Chains A and B, each alone.
Chain A
Amino acid sequence: MITDSHLRSDLQIISKWITTDSRVLDMGCGNGALLNYLQQQLGVFGYGLEIDQQHIVDCIAAKVNVIQSDLNAGLAEFDDSSFDFVIMTQTLQAISRPDLLIDEMLRVGREGIVTFPNFGHWKTRLNLTLGGRMPVTRSLPNRWYDTPNIHLCTIRDFEKFCQKRNIVILKRAVVDISHQPTLRTRLFPNLMGEIALYHFKREIH
């Protein structure tokens, strides 16, 4: 059984945004730790979507309903408003069209939650402006040629994107690599935050 102290702290933050007994879709659910936790602690009913075979084995062992699928193909198997929450952690930046996938998230779910590495962090900025090299940092360890991250954005980019697309941000958390919020990440999120977490929904006029 996964308890609070074993769950990655960014997942702990997310779990506080989820209501009990809700229906949850976790896109790119990895080893199923979050869903397993939500099932046990909050009584949610959920499905995980995952492409990697080894992760799927882990999900099965964690008693998580997992559907092998490629997120780049969209969510055609799900009807509109099927879920209370659609979650995507640390995957947005590796998707071929994040804008379309966020639309899909808000089609099948009432509310969305995403987390991504903040490209506006001071170290990434320093890497590029002073070093003249593509940033390689703690939260972005890959090099330009082997990175799965093809659509990186900053905190400001994401918030502009939401504004343009009539997406209301309900909650935001900005943390460092160990997923802890600090005074610095609170004061200068786009400069000091390494990982950004957002809870949002579609604005209804």
Chain B
Amino acid sequence: MPDFNPENSVGIVSPQTMHFEEPLALDCGRSLKDYHLTYESYGSLNKNRDNAILICHALSSDHHVAGYNSPDDKKPGWWETCIGPGKPIDSDRFFIVCSNNLGGCKGSTGPSSVDPETNKPYGPDFPIVTVKDWVRSQEVFRQKLGIKQWFAIVGGSLGGMQVIQWSIDYPDRLKHALVIAAAPKLSAQNIAFNEVARQAIMSDPDFHKGNYYAHNVSPKRGLMLARMLGHITYLSDDAMRQKFGRDMREGKINFGFDVNFEVESYLRYQGNAFVDRFDANTYLLMTKALDYFDPAADYNNSLAQAFKHVRARFLVISFTSDWRFSPARSKEIVKGLLDNYKPVTYVEIEANQGHDAFLMPIDDYIEIFSTYMNTIANEDGL
């Protein structure tokens, strides 16, 4: 292998897969007879096994959080800005783990995996999984890893919601909860966007009611539309104006329906790139998991009651221009914690990048994130 030493990176990493033979009961009433979770880890577990951090990924990302799977990779993992040597989540200090959620398409058991009972892909028969199910599966994963308690569980967007669920369902299993650009549940507007995305996929003639694998096709046009729509909600109006304005590819109006504006070109590019790396059935499942997420529902619709037995200390971060999960939504989370006198710090980062800001190297954000991690690690002598 040629020398490959990207700066401040965990470098070359390989995913691993863990197999589970005990059935996993799911919220929908069904269960998965056996399943596997694909994950990556960086850094090393210390002697006391108390420096482990679990990262929860967002809707369309996966376990490949940091580093490169091969020297030929054009891009590192999705949270390279925050994870690695000397970064907010420092791989020289922590043992960092991220697993691909059940229902995913990057290695963990999901709709595109082969159902051992039929020897065919699950397709639309894969059960609808929830955030609670993911947490339940990760709890079994924790036991198998031999980690008594996560030092911290960290996630952005849907991943942040998973952190919340962890803190409620297994309060003794994490010391710190870092919830970034999340919400306590989806709004009608959030669900509406997800529904349009699902309709785009399901109305694609290549969808075949989810059995497209058998036809050797995939609903590419639908998935592309879903991704284009998603991208609009990840950016702010301001960020789009700055990035594209009304710039035109050929510098003039071409009186046609081909790509004319730069923003059209960007969305088509993002949509196209996505269909090659993502499974449509997984996209459907992930959006449903988002829609169904509502931890307060089990507690008389009171987030304060849901947080009553939480033991983790919280850091909640939002971004001013995020309209998908706005600062007001993060404040709802904070309010639920304040109502219980739980330790929480809340920071609203001034940023114009919209929801995507949580992935960006924004100075204020990195400083807050680093200071927090550094302080709690020092406290425990890690």
Contact = CB atoms under 8 A, between A and B. Distances in A.
Contact of B348 (A57, A59, A65, A68): A68
Given A53-B347, A67-B344, 14 more contacts: A23-B341, A56-B347, A56-B368, A57-B367, A60-B345, A60-B368, A61-B374, A66-B347, A67-B338, A67-B346, A68-B348, A77-B334, A77-B338, A82-B338
Nearest to A23: B341
A43 B334 CA distance: 23
B346 A57 contact: no
Nearest to A79: B339
Interface in B260-316: none
A63 B334 contact: no
A57 B371 contact: yes
B375 interface: yes
Interface residue tally of chain B, by bracket?
Answer: 20 to 34
10 contacts: A23-B341, A53-B347, A53-B364, A57-B367, A60-B372, A60-B375, A68-B346, A69-B346, A77-B338, A79-B339
B262 to A, nearest CB: 33
A63 to B, nearest CB: 6
B63 interface: no
B15 interface: no
A13 B284 CA distance: 60
Interface in B348-382: 348, 350, 364, 367-368, 371-372, 374-375, 379
Interface string B81-118: 00000000000000000000000000000000000000
B6 interface: no
A61 B368 CA distance: 9
A158 interface: no
A68 B335 contact: no
B380 to A, nearest CB: 12
Given A47-B338, A77-B338, A79-B339, A63 B379 contact: yes
Contacts of A65: 343-345
A23 B347 CA distance: 21
A67 B341 contact: no
Contacts of B341: 23, 45
A67 B364 contact: no
Interface residue tally of chain A, by bracket?
Answer: 10 to 19
A60 B368 CA distance: 8
A188 interface: no
B375 A78 contact: no
A82 B338 CA distance: 9
A129 to B, nearest CB: 43
Given A47-B338, A77-B331, A66 B345 contact: yes
A69 B344 CA distance: 13
A53 B364 CA distance: 8
Interface string B32-72: 00000000000000000000000000000000000000000
A60 B331 CA distance: 18
A64 to B, nearest CB: 8
A60 B371 contact: yes
Interface in A136-178: none
Contacts of A79: 339
A132 B224 CA distance: 71
A61 B375 contact: yes
A67 B327 CA distance: 12
Contact of A63 (B339, B348, B375): B375
A47 B375 CA distance: 17
Nearest to A63: B375
B183 to A, nearest CB: 16
Nearest to B318: A68
A78 B335 CA distance: 8
Nearest to B335: A77
A143 to B, nearest CB: 27
A23 to B, nearest CB: 7
B364 to A, nearest CB: 5
